[in-house]
Amino acid sequence: MTMTTSSTSTKSDRISGTRLGYRFNIVGIVGLTVILSWALVAVFAPLILPYPVGEIVDLDYFGPMSRDFWFGSDYLGRDMLSRILMGARYTVGISLAAVTIACFSGVVLGMVAAVAGGWLDTILSRFLDALNSIPSKLFGLVVVAAVGSSIPVLILTLSVIYIPGAYRFARALAVNINAMDFITVARIRGESTLYLIRSEILPNIVGPVLADLGIRFVFIVLLLSGLSFLGLGVQPPYADWGALVRENIGGLPFGAPAVIFPSLAIASLTISVNLLIDNLPQKIRDRA
């Protein structure tokens, strides 16, 4: 009798857990809201632009905030709000693509290295350590300067820079899981490496890997903005947030909103991602 009651109670817990979703605290909700709104902006930017992106609409340059131009105007008199909304596409899109590639390859390689061990592990680890030893900004600058800047090149460069970190992180987690008896059991059942990493290891490290993905996203946003600020990122007439800061840096002595708002946009995105992963629901954090 005790058995039945306890089992029904756990069952109802689980159902309510999946139905109501995860429990966030307030800081986590704020972070998530900011991230989601930037994501929506990135997707629907063309629909909500007050002015066309490339068009000079203000007679003044570095115009102040006004009714017509909420975020002021830039060094050519283009509407800043439209530029930032459109810039979200580049900043969020490129970073997201890069972080996805980086984490996917890093985590897969890390798990394979942990499970396979031996020479494969040694070679992979040393190679990626070597890659890791190159300063990220320098690497980015050299590659983009050599190959030329285009969006695919940017995405690939950024992801290559962040693969070693994701690899190290996933490998460290997977090595611990790999030492557990249930892996031994699966191994002597005759399971393949693919099964081991997909079904036995991945479910146990997915929580920390998600948190790591968030941090890495922030790094990539900052590096991308840095590259764009140096003129090697997204090329004119298009501009991501880093490029917007660079274009309008001349407005800094005048306290022009054109230079402040893109900076605020970068800060709001990175800070809220950090807030979100620091306040991930207990359920996700406890996965490992």
Partner 1 sequence: MANLVEIRDLKVEATTDSGRRVEIIKGISLDVADGEIVALIGESGSGKTTIALSLMGYARPGCRISGGSVSVAGKDMVALREKERSRIRGTEVAYVPQSAAAAFNPAATIMDQVIEITRIHQLMSPDEARAKAVDLFRALSLPEPETIGARYPHQVSGGQLQRLSAAMALIGDPKLVIFDEPTTALDVTTQIEVLRAFKSVMKKGGIAGVYVSHDLAVVAQIADRIVVLKGGEMQETGTTEEILNDAKHPYTRELLDAFEPKPRGAAGPAEPTPAPLLKVDALVAGYGPRQADGLPLVRAVRQVSLKLEKGRNLGIIGESGCGKSTLARAIAGILPAVAGDIVFEGRELGRSARERSREQLREMQIVFQYADTALNPAKSIEDILDRPLSFYHGMDRKARSARIDELLDMVRLPRNLRHRRPSELSGGQKQRVNFARALAAEPKLILCDEITSALDTVVAAAIIDLLKELQRELGLSYMFISHDLSTVQAICDEVVVMYAGEKVEQLASADLASGAKHPYSKLLFASVPKLDTGWLDGLDQQPELVRALSKAG
* CB of 198 vs partner 1, minimal distance in Å: 12
Q: Which 194-253 residues touch partner 1, going by CB under 8 A?
A: 199-200, 203-204
Which of 164, 118, 286, 150 has the alpha carbon at shortest distance from 227?
150
Q: Which 45-84 residues touch partner 1, going by CB under 8 A?
A: none
Size of the site for partner 1 (CB under 8 A): 22
The binder of partner 1 chosen from 1, 5, 67, 190 (CB under 8 A): 190
| Spatial distance between the Cα atoms of 223 and 273, rounded to a whole number of angstroms | 15
Q: Which stretch binds partner 1 (CB under 8 A): 8-16, 38-46, 165-173, 224-232?
A: 8-16
The binder of partner 1 chosen from 3, 20, 47, 59 (CB under 8 A): 3
* CB of 190 vs partner 1, minimal distance in Å: 5
Q: Which stretch binds partner 1 (CB under 8 A): 51-59, 187-195, 216-224, 266-274?
A: 187-195
* CB of 134 vs partner 1, minimal distance in Å: 34
Rounded to whole angstroms, what are the CA distances from 187 to 12, 158, 179, 215?
35, 36, 11, 33
20 binds partner 1 (CB under 8 A): no
4 binds partner 1 (CB under 8 A): yes
Each residue of 143-173: b (16+ CB within 10 Å) or e?
Answer: bbeeeebebeebbbbbbbbbbbbbbbbbbeb
Q: Which stretch binds partner 1 (CB under 8 A): 99-107, 113-121, 123-131, 178-186?
A: 178-186
What letter would DSSP give residue 238?
S
Q: Which stretch binds partner 1 (CB under 8 A): 50-58, 63-71, 152-160, 174-182?
A: 174-182
180 binds partner 1 (CB under 8 A): yes
The binder of partner 1 chosen from 77, 93, 187, 284 (CB under 8 A): 187
Place of tokens 């990539």: 220
Give residues with Cβ within 8 angstroms of 106, minimum separation 6: 162, 163, 164, 165, 166, 167, 168, 169, 170
The binder of partner 1 chosen from 93, 151, 191, 231 (CB under 8 A): 191
* CB of 31 vs partner 1, minimal distance in Å: 24
Residue 70 burial by Cβ neighbours in a 10 Å radius (0-12, 13-18, 19+): middle
CA-based torsion, 175, 177, 178, 180: positive or negative: positive
Give residues with Cβ within 8 angstroms of 127, minimum separation 6: none
* CB of 189 vs partner 1, minimal distance in Å: 6
Q: 240 by DSSP, 3-state: which?
A: coil
| Positions in the binding site for partner 1 (CB under 8 A) | 3-4, 7, 10-11, 14, 180-182, 184-191, 199-200, 203-204, 287
